């Protein structure tokens, strides 16, 4: 029996990963699509007068089985995939896309929705109901409901091809990342590397059949420490070139043609729907509203950040020349000399901080923050099925003991997991037949694994990553909406990063760090002077980091705010698009676009700017907390009630103003960054 076809006999009806096999996915998808189509036919065939309840509300309830199957499969293709799942995905994703098109291009269904839309002003709808109606109507019109049959067929073909190309792009990046190994057998080549990094490389070597040697990979916990600390410049260059040339070497894993094709299909799709560019299509449903507003933000930050960034790079280059005679600072030099200069100037580096950031303690710390702000408690459960032994599962309860959510924490890299860090869900919060269905939320990261002699000790960057993803997690866990398509993180894309980015701020505060930052050997709390050094050094290189983020944002907008049809050379186009913010020499044969999963496989197309947009919000929001105390329960309740629990039930600026009392001010971000 296919486990998807039975009621899940698990605590909280959690996904029974222990029973699901690869052969279950496609039959489950096919049945789920048949069921969803039948539910839609019932809406269309209802002869009663169209109402909000029998059309819009009924449509929101369509496809619960489909959601479960799709969430489960797509999450595992990112976190625990294999070659068989990749092959299944080549059928699974196009089928899902085809079904999505069948729905949004269904003239009969749209006619029902339009009848409700046309009389919306007389229906006395709540704010959440009006938002759902508007979202549904726009979803149909923005996805081809008003097109002719011929153009609808063309749209279907474009969407199917885009789905296939996205899978191929991701698969190429994953395989390219996994295929690179730098095997070292000379201990001198390890000079400068921290002991924990060396030990982890020895473990990797053993796992990969190179006993007695050291292996470094392009996984972040291996790559980043190597290019930051390794004294051997030639090996840093080798690693850096391998990382920057992923999927642009002209071989079977090259993504250059895929990138161009995706950009052109998106442009063609936007034109078909009546929009000038893909960016115009995307930004209509964002807080930014249009490309001009995006460029205004990016250019304002560029004007403030670029002089500081250029002066900083000169400073690091001078230091490298003085220390080691480096004549030209290259991309594989910047991190190495930046870290040395920061340590010399502020007497601090990641290796000094890591002993205070044992992974288990950081997890406990972020749980305590959620308890102090929102009254939540987290109890580890060992009776919840999981998809990999490394995953930890927790039941989340409110302060009155009421069940809030399940939380899955998956923190270590492995061959079947893509790089990076993300939050996702296996079930959205929603109300169904009067019952509040609580969510299944997951955080997935790639942190340094424990070794034989050391636990998993996080860099401070990994600490803020954990806080960031947990902020997204809270947005999903604390959702209290009626409709699943408005719940949790179903918000405008440039608002979704607020809950995640604002939580990072707590990690810099001694009052918060004292909850969890204790030395893994001695138990000593992180010293005040070390926290002060952390704060003092936090803005060192901030101009550079600002420009680095703007580089990605500008590259994304370059691909999507114009006509890409005349782009023949990906690398040349990329160089031109980012010329105004170039800080280090461009290396021939490298490309950001070819491994830029955020925009070519991850939903951030014409939206990468949203990290900076949300930084404006988060800096302004955290100033409010700081003015009243970072663990002020009253402010925490306002944030929970007006942001975390409300999902996309209202326009995000209205939600923000209810929390803050006013629109955000960009000066808060510039103050925090030390740029004004």
Active site residues: 469
- Residue (of 279, 290, 170) closest to 563 by Cα position: 279
Angle at 288 between CA 547 and CA 657, to 5 degrees: 105
Indicate the SS3 state at residue 177. Answer: helix
- Residue (of 524, 405, 411, 428) closest to 474 by Cα position: 405
Give kind and range of the element (H or E) at residue 551: helix 542-560
Write the DSSP assignment of 80-102 as a string of letters.
S--HHHHHHHHHHHHHHHHHHHH
Tally Cβ neighbours within 10 Å of residue 307.
12
Indicate the SS3 state at residue 435. Answer: strand
* Contact (Cβ atoms closer than 8 angstroms) between residue 378 and residue 396: yes
- Residue (of 479, 405, 439) closest to 394 by Cα position: 405
**CA pair distance 552, 547, nearest whole angstrom:** 9
**CA pair distance 145, 37, nearest whole angstrom:** 17
**CA pair distance 181, 208, nearest whole angstrom:** 9
Tokens of 6: 């039975």
Q: Phi, psi (5° rounding) for residue 410? A: -130, 100
How deeply is 59 buried, as exposed, middle or buried, from its count of CB atoms within 10 A (0-12, 13-18, 19+)?
Answer: buried
**CA pair distance 511, 631, nearest whole angstrom:** 9
Rg (CA), the chain: 25
Residues 6+ away with beta carbon under 8 Å from 525? 513, 514, 517, 518, 519
**CA pair distance 424, 404, nearest whole angstrom:** 16
- 3-state SS record for 244-306: HCCCCCCCCCCCHHHHHHHHHHHHHHHHHCCCCCHHHHHHCCCCCCCHHHHHHHHHHHHHHHH
- Residue (of 580, 594, 597, 650) closest to 131 by Cα position: 650
Q: What share of the chain is helix, strand, coil (3-state, %, to 5)?
A: 60, 5, 35
* Contact (Cβ atoms closer than 8 angstroms) between residue 599 and residue 556: yes
Residues 6+ away with beta carbon under 8 Å from 607? 282, 286, 493, 494, 556, 599
């Amino acid at each position: 029996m296919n486990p998807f076809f039975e009621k899940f006999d698990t605590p909280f009806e959690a996904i029974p990963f222990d029973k699901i096999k690869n052969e279950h996915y496609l039959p489950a998808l096919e049945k789920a699509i048949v069921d969803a189509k039948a539910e839609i036919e019932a809406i269309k065939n209802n002869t009663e007068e169209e109402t909000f309840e029998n059309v819009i509300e009924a449509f929101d309830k369509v496809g619960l089985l489909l959601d479960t199957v799709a969430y489960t499969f797509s999450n595992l293709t990112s976190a625990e995939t294999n070659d068989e799942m990749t092959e299944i995905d080549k059928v699974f994703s196009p089928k899902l896309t085809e079904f999505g098109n069948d729905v949004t291009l269904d003239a009969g269904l749209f006619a029902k929705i339009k009848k409700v839309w046309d009389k919306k002003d007389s229906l006395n709808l709540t704010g959440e109901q009006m938002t759902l109606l508007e979202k549904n109507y726009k979803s149909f019109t923005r996805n081809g409901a008003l097109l002719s049959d011929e153009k609808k067929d063309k749209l279907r073909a474009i969407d199917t091809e885009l789905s296939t190309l996205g899978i191929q792009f991701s698969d190429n990046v994953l395989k390219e990342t996994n295929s690179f190994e730098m095997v070292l057998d000379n201990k001198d080549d390890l000079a400068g590397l921290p002991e924990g990094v060396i030990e982890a490389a020895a473990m990797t070597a053993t796992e990969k059949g190179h006993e007695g040697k050291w292996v470094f990979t392009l996984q972040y916990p291996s790559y980043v420490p190597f290019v930051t600390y390794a004294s051997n410049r030639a090996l840093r260059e080798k690693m850096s070139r391998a990382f920057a040339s992923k999927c642009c070497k002209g071989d079977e894993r090259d993504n250059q043609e895929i990138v161009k094709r995706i950009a052109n299909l998106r442009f063609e799709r936007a034109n078909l729907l009546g929009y000038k560019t893909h960016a115009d299509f995307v930004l209509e449903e964002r807080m930014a509203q249009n490309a001009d507003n995006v460029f205004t933000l990016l250019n304002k930050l560029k004007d403030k950040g670029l002089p500081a960034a250029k002066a900083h790079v000169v400073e690091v280059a001078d230091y490298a020349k003085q220390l080691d005679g480096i004549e030209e600072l290259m991309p594989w030099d910047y991190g190495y000399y930046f870290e040395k200069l920061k340590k010399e100037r502020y007497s601090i580096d990641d290796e000094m901080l890591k002993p205070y950031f044992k992974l288990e303690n950081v997890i406990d710390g972020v749980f305590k923050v959620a308890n102090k702000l929102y009254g939540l408690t987290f109890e580890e459960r060992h009776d919840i099925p999981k998809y990999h032994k490394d995953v930890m599962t927790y039941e989340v309860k409110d302060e009155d003991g009421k069940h809030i959510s399940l939380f899955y924490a998956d923190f270590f890299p492995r061959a079947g997991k893509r790089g990076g860090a993300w939050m996702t869900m296996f079930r959205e919060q929603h109300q169904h037949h009067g019952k509040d269905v609580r969510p299944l939320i997951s955080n997935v990261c790639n942190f340094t694994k424990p070794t034989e002699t050391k636990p998993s000790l996080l860099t401070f960057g990994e600490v803020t990553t954990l806080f960031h993803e947990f902020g997204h997690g809270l947005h999903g866990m604390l959702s209290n909406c009626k409709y699943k398509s408005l719940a949790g993180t179903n918000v405008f894309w440039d608002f979704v990063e607020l809950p995640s980015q604002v939580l990072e701020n707590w990690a810099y505060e001694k009052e918060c760090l004292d909850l969890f930052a204790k030395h893994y050997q001695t138990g000593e709390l992180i010293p005040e002077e070390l926290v002060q050094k952390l704060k003092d050094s936090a803005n060192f290189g901030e101009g550079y980091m600002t420009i680095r983020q703007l580089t990605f944002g500008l590259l994304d907008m370059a691909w999507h705010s114009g006509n890409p049809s005349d782009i023949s050379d990906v690398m040349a186009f990329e160089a031109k698009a980012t010329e105004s913010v170039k800080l280090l020499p461009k290396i021939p044969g490298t490309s950001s676009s070819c491994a830029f999963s955020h925009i070519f496989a991850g939903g951030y197309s014409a939206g990468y700017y949203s990290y900076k947009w949300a930084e404006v919000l988060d800096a302004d929001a955290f100033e409010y907390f700081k003015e009243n105390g970072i663990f002020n329960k009253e402010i925490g309740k306002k944030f929970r009630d007006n942001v975390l629990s409300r999902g996309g039930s209202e326009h995000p600026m209205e939600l923000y103003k209810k929390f803050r009392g006013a629109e955000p001010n960009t000066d808060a971000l510039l103050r925090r960054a030390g740029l004004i």
